[in-house]
Amino acid sequence: MLSPSNNVGSKACQGDRFIPKRSAMNNSNFNMTNENCAPNGMDSPSKDLYKKMARAALSNGNEELGAKILAFKNKPPAPVAFEKDNSMYTQNSGKVVSRKQYRHIPQAPERILDAPDLLDDYYLNLLDWSSKNVVAIALGASLYLWNASSGDVSELMSVNADADDAVTSVQWGADGKHIAIGTNNSEVQIWDCEASKQVRSLKGHAARVSAMSWNNHMLATAGRDTNILMHDVRIRDHMTARLEAHEQEVCGLKWSPNGQQLASGGNDNMLHIWDMNSISNGTYLHRLDQHQAAVKALAWCPWSGNLLASGGGTADRTIKFWNTHTGAMLNSIDTHSQVCALQWNRHEREILSSHGFSQNQLCVWKYPSMAKMAELTGHTARVLHMAQSPDGYSVVSAAADETLRFWNVFGQPEVVAARERSRTSEKSVLKSINIR
């Protein structure tokens, strides 16, 4: 930027004298004083004459050119263009805009496993993935374990199918060693999977146990008897609370990651939020009735402790987002299909949904815009269950077509790591740019 002292055509006093080019001023020597900058020894010229003399001096006698003091003599140089392939940013009107990069989401599953006798029941929860990379899947009356690291398959336990019993829910403990198993005859069994041994049997329900959720040593269980039971597995008298708020089967149950709130969804179309105080008092914190069908799909946001996503059944088809501190609904979108399960991406602001009637697909959504990023197809019946790998990159889906499909839907570890490094570099570049 030019400083005022260097502007063309500005009046300036340098010491005692201002000396224009002699050739332009016909060798006339004007001695300018600091007081009034008038020619030395001469009367000050008239204003019009002075302007004419100044124009002549600056234009070497060409008055037409001198009349345009600030005009470019030549065309301005073309702006320097950023190379398309080597730049991450373009500058326009003082704003820095990042070039959007879209993550590739594979459309085909990485692996498909057969799951014969998988019960086609929307209200059950038959799939979970442990912190030690073992997938548990209930098939009829048996529970099978598939080690994702080695590929080994083993049958952990089986109930009496002849007595009309079946495994109706499974939930891994945080240690990846113990697993809770709910049955059709209302029993909850705790198994040590490393020892292949049952260590506890929890009674209290009067009908099948459809949903369970661990919170350290506390296990919440719920089922067709409409009750939610709280169990402390460390003590002999394990039942510490009975919550009676739902009017029909409870099919969704999830503790928040920080263990401070519990969400329960039921076939009565209700979603309840509980905290430690309300559990102690036997009353819910919030009763949310905006869904128009059963609420099974529940997922707590991994980066915001009070953000909950819930999905509704066939007559509802929506995914809703809630502030569980205030009970306010933040957003609702119509997916046009029964919502069976939800999983948040722990590495990006995205959420994955699985669906039943009538599309039987998985959808990746960008949060909070809820723009659909991808649809994953391949299942030929409703996708009832989903579970996420311990590293958060893969998801396994279980469908009524009796198959398990493994999807690298949330990226590859090395790709995500490279993207994180790129983001760190991008933030550093942004900090170094002075936007005027």
For residue 66, give the H/E element and its range.
Answer: helix 63-66
pLDDT averaged over every residue in the chain: 82
Q: What pLDDT, in 10s, does the model give residues 133-187? A: 999 999 999 999 999 999 999 999 999 999 999 999 999 999 999 999 999 999 9
Q: 107 near 99, Cβ under 8 Å?
A: no
Task: Write the pLDDT tens digit of every residue in 391-431.
Answer: 999 999 999 999 999 999 998 875 555 555 555 555 444 44
pLDDT of residue 262: 98
Q: Which residue has the tokens 């060409």?
A: 62
Q: What is the mean pLDDT of residues 330-348?
A: 97
pLDDT band for position 75 (50/70/90)?
low
Question: In this predicted structure, what is the pLDDT of residue 103?
Answer: 82
At 212 the pLDDT is 98
Peptide bond connecting 131 to the previous residue in cis, omega within 30 degrees of 0: no
Note whether 241 and 232 are within 8 A (CB).
Answer: no
Confidence tier at 58 by pLDDT (50, 70, 90)? low
Q: What is the CATH number of domain 111-419?
A: 2.130.10.10
Q: Is 126 left (phi over 0), alpha (psi -120 to 50) or beta?
A: alpha
Q: Where are the domains of the chain?
A: 14-70, 111-419
DSSP state, 416? H
Contacts of residue 347, Cβ cutoff 8 Å, sequence gap at least 6: 392, 393, 410, 411, 416
d(CA 343, CA 161): 32
pLDDT of residue 47: 63
pLDDT for res 358: 84
What pLDDT, on the 0 to 100 scale, is given for residue 316? 98
> Which pLDDT score is estimated for 286?
98
pLDDT at 44: 53
Proportion of the chain above pLDDT 90, given as a percent: 69
Q: What pLDDT score does 266 carry?
A: 98
DSSP at 176: S
CA distance 148 to 25: 92
| DSSP H helix total and E strand total for the chain | 4, 30
**What's residue 78's pLDDT?**
59
**For residue 431, which phi and psi values (nearest 5 degrees)?**
-65, -30
Contact 397, 129 (CB under 8 A): no
Distance CA 358, CA 383 (A): 10
pLDDT tens, position by position, 382-391? 999 999 999 9
The span from the CA of 341 to the CA of 369, in Å, is 20
Strand stretches in 79-205, DSSP E:
89-92, 95-98, 111-114, 127-129, 134-139, 142-147, 153-158, 167-172, 178-183, 188-192, 197-202
Instruction: State how far Cα 341 lies from the chain centre.
Output: 16
Distance CA 120, CA 384 (A): 8
Res 98 pLDDT > 90: no
The sheet that has 383-388: what strands, in order across it?
A: 111-114, 403-407, 395-399, 383-388
Question: What is the model's pTM?
Answer: 0.74
Smallest CA-to-CA distance from 397 within 18, 108, 60 is with 108
> What phi, psi does 58 have (nearest 5°)?
-80, -20
- pLDDT at residue 56 in the model: 63
pLDDT above 90 for 376: yes
pLDDT of residue 202: 98
For residues 254-259, average pLDDT: 97
Other Cβ atoms within 10 Å of 329 Cβ, number: 14
The overall longest dimension of the chain from CA atoms, in Å, is 127
Question: Between 320 and 10, whose confidence is greater?
Answer: 320
Tokens 């790998």 sit on residue: 389
pLDDT at 96 over 60: no
Task: Please compute the mean of the pLDDT values over residues 231-256 and round it to a whole number.
Answer: 97
pLDDT, one tens digit per residue, over 263-295 is 999 999 999 999 999 999 999 999 999 999 999
Compute the chain's Rg from CA coordinates. Answer: 37
Confidence of residue 9 (pLDDT cuts 50, 70, 90): very low
Query: 220-227 long-range CB contacts below 8 Å, 24 or more apart?
Result: 220/253, 220/255, 220/262, 221/180, 221/182, 221/188, 221/253, 222/246, 222/250, 222/251, 222/253, 222/264, 223/168, 223/169, 223/182, 223/186, 223/249, 223/250, 224/123, 224/249, 225/186, 226/250, 226/266
**Distance from chain centroid for Cα 133:** 23
Per-residue pLDDT at 426: 52
Q: Is the pLDDT of residue 64 over 90?
A: no
- The secondary structure of 369-396 as a DSSP string is TTEEEEEE---SS-EEEEEE-TTSS-EE
